[in-house]
Homo-oligomer: A and B are copies of this chain.
């Protein structure tokens, strides 16, 4: 158990898993990878293995509080931070850091997304132990994923001086590259994918926010000083005024003494139906008894089990089929990024019921 706290960031409202994901049921609440547990539930289980239960916070949007609470019955309501309005990750982390500062003092805080898929518990635990130690030495620690391909969908971290085993000072952050740039980065080496997970001491983070994002800094200072009974009102009055900016742009890319811990665990942001389909061995449909594939060995079928509906795919390979009660998606494998266009079209048609 680490002497540290953890904030699980669960406010996302992704559209890439439509029609299974909706505004009221975003990606992190979905059991995308089998096993029946949502990505949020998996994130919470990872946190419980490393952090004292009373020090695990979940930050989410007000409209998702009930769904989060339902998925995490072991989490006290007081540990759910409900953002009144989306403000990206910097205010989210500011609030969590201030709460931790007030309740537990200047301890390290891990801020982790709720919608990633991670495998390799021992390596995950070791990396967080390493990052927590770096945070105590004053570093902001990120986690770098050794790049498996010239991915253009992630930011990269360039490693500088070694900081002992499996960690480096960050030379610089690199925005999402184009394909040629990504290939060059991989060829040159010394880079990691930016996983979006961080560990820092809450004192240092509050200093950074004060210096770089004044509204967020003032909000966080107020939370750190408020009587707990007054926190909800403070948030209602002041959170919306914080800078709407990601922690990456707002702090990380401008801060000194940022480290990267090389991840030895398996990491995926499961960014699309393609990523989900790629995890399923060929010919093994997600919903066995309800799915019938003929001449469609690479078809991926996801049918809401509640519907007890049979899905037959005949002669169409490389297809993703996602069937829900009120919407059906049939998508070529490799085109699932275009699901966003469907959501945009539904918005344009005023079909809020399907968003």
Which residues of A line the B interface, CB within 8 A? 19, 289, 292, 294-295, 299, 303, 308-316, 319, 321, 323, 325-332, 334-336, 338-339, 341-342, 345-346, 349, 351, 354
Contacts and interface: CB of A to CB of B under 8 A. Distances in A.
A327 B354 contact: no
A166 B312 CA distance: 46
A315 B335 contact: yes
A294 B342 contact: yes
Contacts of A319: 316, 319, 330
19 contacts: A19-B310, A292-B345, A294-B345, A295-B332, A295-B335, A308-B326, A310-B326, A312-B327, A312-B329, A313-B330, A314-B331, A314-B335, A314-B338, A314-B339, A314-B342, A315-B332, A315-B335, A319-B319, A323-B323
Nearest to A316: B332
Most chain B CB atoms below 10 A, which of A309, A315, A339 = A315
B330 A330 contact: yes
Nearest to A341: B294
B321 A330 contact: yes
A315 B331 contact: yes
Nearest to A321: B330
Contact of A338 (B294, B329, B332, B338): B294
